[in-house]
Amino acid sequence: MAAPDEPPPPPDWLELPRDIATTILLKLGAVEILTTAELVCTDWRALCLDSTMWQTIDMRNDGDLPDDDLADMCCRAVDRSDGGCLDLNIEYFGDDELLQYAADWCNHIRRLRLVDCGNISDEGLCEAASKLPMLEVLELSYCSFSKEAIETVGQCCPLLKSFKLNSQGYRYSHIDCDDEAQAIAKNMHGLRHLQLFGNKMTNEGLKAILDSCPHLEYLDLRQCFNVYMGGDLGRRCTEQIKDLRNPYDPTDDYEFDAAILDDESFDDDYPSGFSDIDLSDYDNYYEFSDYDDFSVYGFEEDQ
């Protein structure tokens, strides 16, 4: 009886064609490339130094490295892009200095995502926005920026088509605010995609957005509990918006923790009914998730 064929040997990762190796490396985040992948061999090191590898810079703090080290690596990634970075993601770390460095050296950025970047101020965001006139996609999730900062971003970035401004949902009584909605309505007329998860706006803020953003196709109002979708407003949203997420729609596909703060939990923490801090300034922990696939917004990656 003939011996069974020997199984094929495992692939030699070091001898992969350049295009395949590049595709594999691009699936890694910037931290993995800078700390691991580029140390594998001289060929991979050469690939990792190629500026085209850094059109997308995905920097996330998973708790393993100090913020200063992450900021250092982010600056190295910006340097390697040679001004060609189009897509910048910073999660759970970062400050004004880092954002300014990126904006100074990569002023053709089209997509910027900031998640829980508590050390980036209004002034830092506004200064960066003034240097990013090509920006088309912006996400500010679980950050603390004022309506004035949002207004400035809209004025400085006239090509903006997608905006995410996400917060933790809550059902506190008598706490509503249309400032952010009005800032969007007055300064972001070209939006096609808008996500306002957990926003405090009311029906008046929503009406302002509908009146001023005629190209809007996607609107996510989940956990915007001060918005009431009955009657004429609900019908208008259904007719005007192709893809609408209502305040009480499921949150299964939402990438962060969708836990809701309510009156009961608020009263337990603050029996007097008032907090000694601004209610918008609270620290939370959120699950890490894959970076957005921006193709859903109609934008194609540069090759």
Q: What is the pLDDT of residues 224-243, one digit of tens each?
A: 999 999 999 999 999 999 99
pLDDT of residue 14: 63
Look up residue 296 and give its DSSP letter.
Answer: G
Question: Sorting pLDDT into bands at 50, 70 and 90, what band is 173?
Answer: low
8 A C-beta contact, residue 20 and residue 28 = no
Task: Of 8-22, 58-72, 198-212, 216-230, give the lowest mean pLDDT range.
Answer: 8-22
Q: What is the mean pLDDT of residues 27-38?
A: 91
pLDDT of residue 264: 56
- Asked whether the predicted pLDDT for residue 81 surpasses 60, the reply is yes
Six token digits for residue 270: 């603050």
pTM: 0.82
Q: Are 48 and 38 in contact (CB under 8 A)?
A: yes
Task: Name the pLDDT band for 2 (thresholds 50, 70, 90).
Answer: low
Residue 27's pLDDT band, with cuts at 50, 70 and 90, is: confident
Task: Give the pLDDT score at 200.
Answer: 95
- Residue 277 pLDDT > 50, yes or no? no
pLDDT of residue 153: 98
pLDDT at 266 over 80: no
Q: Render the burial of 31-70: b for 16+ CB within 10 Å, e for the rest.
A: bebbeebbeeeeebeebbeeeebbbbbbbbbeeeeeeeeb
Q: Is the pLDDT of residue 298 over 70?
A: no
Q: Residue 13's pLDDT is what?
A: 58
List own/partner pairs for 251-254 with CB under 8 A and 24 or more apart. 251/222, 251/223, 254/197, 254/222
pLDDT bracket for residue 5 (50, 70, 90): low
Measured in residues, the chain has a length of 303
Assess whether pLDDT exceeds 70 at residue 10. Answer: no
Percent of the chain topping pLDDT 90: 71
The neighbour count for residue 155, using CB atoms within 10 Å, is 14
Q: How confident is the model at residue 67 (pLDDT cuts 50, 70, 90)?
A: very high
Mean pLDDT across 46-50: 92
